[in-house]
């Protein structure tokens, strides 16, 4: 059986292809095209048809959902499996998601319920699969251990780039709308585990946001303006504010290393170690850090982010904000630890830095559970069973 794999610069693509070949015995037809992320492209459609006419294809698979691939697969009667790790992903609001040939697996149960209850029968829930064996391969090779060893580390973006969507919009708003946004954002920052931003964007407020920074729906899209402004503008800004605030509080008391794409990003007291390679370096950071922090992107309503799955699959100790989906698969204080607020975060960092045995036991439990229950062979077997493959 041959699978057409949409080849784009995604996380976990190498692990996915390895598992498809070695665990399931599938042949892989790699397909790439510069228009893969577009909503309309005759060139993409023609290239896909040429690929399928040249190579036998039984079904298609990709990380994240791509409407053009859904279109071409549907035309040829091919099942299309997508494993979504980005949230938000506005492409999910393409009408093409409802094609019966689609099997779209979401890691955020709240988003899954929203789409399923909205009449989309082609969405399913699954945690994100991990390769828990790779860390052993990396540790057997020499690497720059001094760079990766940390008391506390954070790997990710601060989302504080200049001229970001929110700031560009905010400076054009009237005082009332600014005050309204300031109030609901302050309130949201006090709450973990429930995001109410979108439901508080009244028609009047949405109209003001749209006037300040107009958004044009995609030709095949049914996304609402409230959803776009909540997920792509406000939640991204909230995440930036929260990460900078919490990481600054951590760095005042504990040694903190920041690994981020922006070499100029500054957290007072923290060492910015710059970007790291996802496959060859990041697993070593997770394994060698005493405490790995996760501060989730606020648009992830309840899901377990890929960063968290990666940390646990590398045998790292995970200290994260609360996400409800953790409770579906893991046990707090046995497999991972979550914090409730800033004071709790600092208290737990202090505790687990001074209780090595408990910290290591939790990290080991998290590793064993991800290896046994969330590996590529386990997750993909369930996915293929659902898709009837």
The b/e string for 74-83 (b: 16+ C-beta within 10 A; e otherwise) is beeebbbbbb
**What pLDDT, in 10s, does the model give residues 7-65?**
999 999 999 999 999 999 999 999 999 999 999 999 999 999 999 999 999 999 999 99
How far is the first Cα of the chain from the last one, in angstroms, to the nearest whole number?
10
- 319 φ, ψ to 5°? -120, 115
What confidence tier does 350 reach under pLDDT thresholds 50, 70, 90?
A: very high
> For residue 88, is the peptide bond before it cis, meaning its omega torsion is within 30 degrees of 0?
yes
Picking from 194, 184, 190, 188, the residue whose alpha carbon sits closest to that of residue 300 is: 194
Q: Are the C-beta atoms of 292 and 317 separated by less than 8 Å?
A: yes
The pair of structure tokens assigned to 30 is 């790699």
Mean pLDDT of 313-326: 98
Mean pLDDT of 329-347: 98
How far, in Å, CA of 177 to CA of 25, rounded?
Answer: 56
pLDDT value at residue 54: 96
Exposed, middle or buried, 144 (CB in 10 Å: 0-12/13-18/19+)? exposed
From residue 328, give the alpha-carbon distance in Å to each of 86, 139, 195, 336, 389: 20, 31, 19, 13, 26
Pick the CATH number of 2-129+376-387 from 3.30.470.20, 3.90.1300.10, 3.40.50.720, 3.40.50.2000: 3.40.50.2000
Mean pLDDT of 273-293: 95
Task: Provide CATH 3.40.50.2000 ranges for the chain.
Answer: 2-129+376-387, 134-373
Exposed, middle or buried, 213 (CB in 10 Å: 0-12/13-18/19+)? middle
Picking from 73, 54, 52, the residue whose alpha carbon sits closest to that of residue 62 is: 73
**What pLDDT, in 10s, does the model give residues 103-133?**
999 999 999 999 999 999 999 999 999 999 9
Whether the pLDDT of residue 356 is over 80: the answer is yes
pLDDT value at residue 161: 76
Whether the pLDDT of residue 163 is over 90: the answer is no
Mean pLDDT of 146-170: 91
pLDDT value at residue 223: 96
pLDDT value at residue 389: 96
**What pLDDT, in 10s, does the model give residues 291-318?**
999 999 999 999 999 999 999 999 999 9
**What pLDDT, in 10s, does the model give residues 201-254?**
999 999 999 999 999 999 899 999 999 999 999 999 999 999 999 999 999 999
Residue labelled with tokens 């789409």: 115
How far, in Å, CA of 358 to CA of 337, rounded?
Answer: 11
Exposed, middle or buried, 275 (CB in 10 Å: 0-12/13-18/19+)? middle
How far, in Å, CA of 372 to CA of 40, rounded?
Answer: 41
How far, in Å, CA of 372 to CA of 58, rounded?
Answer: 29
pLDDT value at residue 139: 86
Whole-number average pLDDT of the chain: 96
> Is 134-373 assigned to CATH 3.40.50.2000?
yes
What confidence tier does 144 reach under pLDDT thresholds 50, 70, 90?
A: confident
Rounded to 5°, angle at Cα 198 from 197 and 204: 105
């Amino acid at each position: 059986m041959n699978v057409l794999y949409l080849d784009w610069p995604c996380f976990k693509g190498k692990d996915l292809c390895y598992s498809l070949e070695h665990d399931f015995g599938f042949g892989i037809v790699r397909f790439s095209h510069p228009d893969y992320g577009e909503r309309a492209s005759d060139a993409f459609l023609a290239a896909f048809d040429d690929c399928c006419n040249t190579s036998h294809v039984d079904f298609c698979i990709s990380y994240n959902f791509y409407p053009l691939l859904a279109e071409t697969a549907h035309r040829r009667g091919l099942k299309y499996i997508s494993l979504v790790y980005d949230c938000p992903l506005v492409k999910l609001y393409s009408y093409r998601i409802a094609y019966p040939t689609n099997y779209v697996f979401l890691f955020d149960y709240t988003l899954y319920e929203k789409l399923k209850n909205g009449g989309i029968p082609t969405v399913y829930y699954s945690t994100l699969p991990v390769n828990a064996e790779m860390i052993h391969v990396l540790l057997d090779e020499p690497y720059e251990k001094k760079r990766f060893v940390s008391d506390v580390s954070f790997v990710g973006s601060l989302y504080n780039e200049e001229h970001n969507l929110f700031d560009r919009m905010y400076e054009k708003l009237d005082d009332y709308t600014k005050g309204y946004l300031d109030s609901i954002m302050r309130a949201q920052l006090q709450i973990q585990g429930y995001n109410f931003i979108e439901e508080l964007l009244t028609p009047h407020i949405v109209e003001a946001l749209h006037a300040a920074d107009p958004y044009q729906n995609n030709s095949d899209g049914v996304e609402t303006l409230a959803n776009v402004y909540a997920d792509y503008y406000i939640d991204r800004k909230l995440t930036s504010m929260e990460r900078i605030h919490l990481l600054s509080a951590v760095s005042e008391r504990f040694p903190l290393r920041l690994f981020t794409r922006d070499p100029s990003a500054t957290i007072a007291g923290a060492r910015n170690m710059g970007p790291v390679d996802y496959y060859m370096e990041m697993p070593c950071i997770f394994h060698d850090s005493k405490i790995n922090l996760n501060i989730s992107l606020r648009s992830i309503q309840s899901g377990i982010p890929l960063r968290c799955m990666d940390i646990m699959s590398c045998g790292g100790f995970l200290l994260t904000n609360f996400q409800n989906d953790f409770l579906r698969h893991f046990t707090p204080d046995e497999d991972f630890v979550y914090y409730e607020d800033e004071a709790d975060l600092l208290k737990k960092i202090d505790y687990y830095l001074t209780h090595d045995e408990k910290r290591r036991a939790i990290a080991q439990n998290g590793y064993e559970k991800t290896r046994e229950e969330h590996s590529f062979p386990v997750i993909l077997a369930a996915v293929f069973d659902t898709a009837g493959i």
